[in-house]
Structure formats: structure tokens, C-alpha cells
Amino acid sequence: MGTDYVHGYTASETRRLSEQAETLADLLHGDTHYAPGSRVLEVGCGVGAQTVQLLTRSPGIALTAVDISEESLAEAKRRVAVKVPDAQVEWHHGDLHDLPYAEASFDHLFLCFVLEHLPEPTDVLRTLRRYLRPGGTITLIEGDHGSAIYHPRSAAAQAVIECLNVSQAEAGGDALIGRRVQPLLTAAGFTDVVTHPRTVYADQTVPHLVDGFTRKTFIAMVGSVRDRSIATGLSTPAAWAQGIRDLERTAEPGGTFHYTFFKGVGVR
């Protein structure tokens, strides 16, 4: 697993991930609960934004959190120490293709916004499946940038979103992976796979979603690839500025924004 994280390892990206996790906590994690004492493996824990959700919603679990970035792992440890100081967490810095665990070591496996960055997601899932005990579950959550529907419609805004999609593909990922959650889990050998869309819709009647999702999650995510997009010729400074201005109109009175995540659960 490489470290070419398309959004960058920056303070602004850490803030974006935190905003995303807090804004979408109930939507994405409201029905994820593990029994006390369950052995849970979180792969790609990043800065710990989702880790905190796991620990607060399933108190008493024995969580192992893995990430390839030492900087992200350090931030995750700090975040958990502040938010969930009594949590039982084993931290591991390493590549998900080469984890030091025996087969069937865990009761549950959790991945959130991880596979979108990887070139061979089915192979990754097959590799991780062996760490689950028979009958253990996997929970997989991914977004799909192709589900972004907004008003006012704008070709310039769509162009900067496409820059994000292309940048992610060039880094080896898939910005449209959400729609593939069910077939990916099935191809990797999981059974009883159930997948549901989790939709965010924001307009001026729900200002917390306008601010927390439209502005601080989605537009911030697009903004993270500005320099990369201009450097590679996908956009120009003027075109980028226009596209972001038009996206910001969707967060103003009269604007609307829609996006869909996909959450799948399967059994080994």
C-alpha cells in the first residue's frame, strides 16, 4: 500500500476528516455496534476520526487500529486519548498487505474511506478476510463522487470535481468506488452481503449540514487537489477559482447539495 494519499497529510486535511466524521456520525455509524470484548480490526484508521466513533459507540471493545502513516497514527493516538481516554486500543504502524496477525484473530473488521485510495481493492479485501474468524463480520463504508448532485448546476464546478476524480485515479484509487461496495465484498469471498446507500442532502433549512458537509467536507476535499490539478494541467488557476466559487454557491441560500455514501456488511 502506497502513501500517495491524494488529499495530502496536512493540518487542513486533518480538520476536514474531523468535520466529516462528526457531521456524518449518526448517518454512517448509527447502526454499527460491537459487543464488549469483541476483537475489532480497523484498517486505515488515519487520524482517528472514525476510530473515536467506533470506541464511543461500542464501549469495551478490544480495538486494533492500523495505518501506514506515522504522522496520522500519532494524531489518532492523541485524539483517542482526549476523546475516549479509557479505551483499549492497540496501535500498529504498517502496511495492510503485511499485518502481523494470525488467521482468525478478529471478530470484526472495519474499513471506512480506505479502498477508494487503493489500486486493487478486491485483493486487499481477500487479504484482510483471513484475519476474521469464521462468522465474523466486515463493515465497509465508501463514498461515490459521481453521486454529487447540486444546484445551481455549473460546468466549472463539475470540472473541479472531475479534477478530484482524475487525481484520485492517477494516484491509484477510484473516486466512484461507493457503487462497487457490494460486488467488491462478494468477489472477495464474503457472504450475506447487505449494502445500503447513506444519503446526505443539504440546503438552507439544515445549516449544520451545509457547513459541516457541503463546505467543510466536500468543497474542502475538492480544494485539497488544487495544486496537483494545476501542476498536471488538469486545470488553470482561473478555471479552478471559478469552479470553487460556483461550488460555494451551492452552500448559499437557494443552493442545494446531495451526496451518497454506501455501507456494506458481510460475513466470513
Query: Mean pLDDT in the chain?
Result: 94
What pLDDT shows up at residue 15?
66
Collapsing DSSP to helix, strand or coil, 74 comes out as helix
What pLDDT shows up at residue 18?
66
pLDDT, tens digit, 9 for 90 and up, residues 65-99: 999 999 999 999 999 999 999 999 999 999 999 99
- pLDDT band with cut points at 50, 70 and 90 for residue 23: confident
User: Could you give phi then psi for residue 149, rounded to 5 degrees?
Assistant: -125, 130
What pLDDT shows up at residue 3?
44
What pLDDT shows up at residue 170?
95
| Residue type at 107 in one-letter notation | D
pLDDT, tens digit, 9 for 90 and up, residues 214-258: 999 999 999 999 999 999 999 999 999 999 999 999 999 999 999
Which residue, among 54, 114, 113, has the nearest Cα to 88 in the 3D structure? 54
Dist. CA 26–CA 53, nearest whole Å:
9
- pLDDT band with cut points at 50, 70 and 90 for residue 22: confident
What pLDDT shows up at residue 1?
40
Give the side-chain half-sphere CA count within 13 A for 264: 25
Dist. CA 180–CA 1, nearest whole Å:
20
Dist. CA 9–CA 179, nearest whole Å:
26
pLDDT, tens digit, 9 for 90 and up, residues 147-183: 999 999 999 999 999 999 999 999 999 999 999 999 9
Average pLDDT value for residue range 112-125: 96
Within 10 Å of residue 98's Cβ, how many Cβ atoms? 8
**Which residue carries 451545509 as its cell?**
210
What pLDDT shows up at residue 240?
98
List the single range of 20-24, 155-159, 259-263 with lowest mean pLDDT.
Answer: 20-24
pLDDT exceeding 70 applies to what percent of the chain?
93
pLDDT exceeding 90 applies to what percent of the chain?
91
Domains and CATH numbers, the chain: 11-267 (3.40.50.150)
- Answer yes or no: are the C-beta atoms of 67 and 44 closer than 8 Å: yes
Where is pLDDT greater, at 184 or 15? Answer: 184
The secondary structure of residue 217, as a DSSP letter, is I
- pLDDT band with cut points at 50, 70 and 90 for residue 2: very low
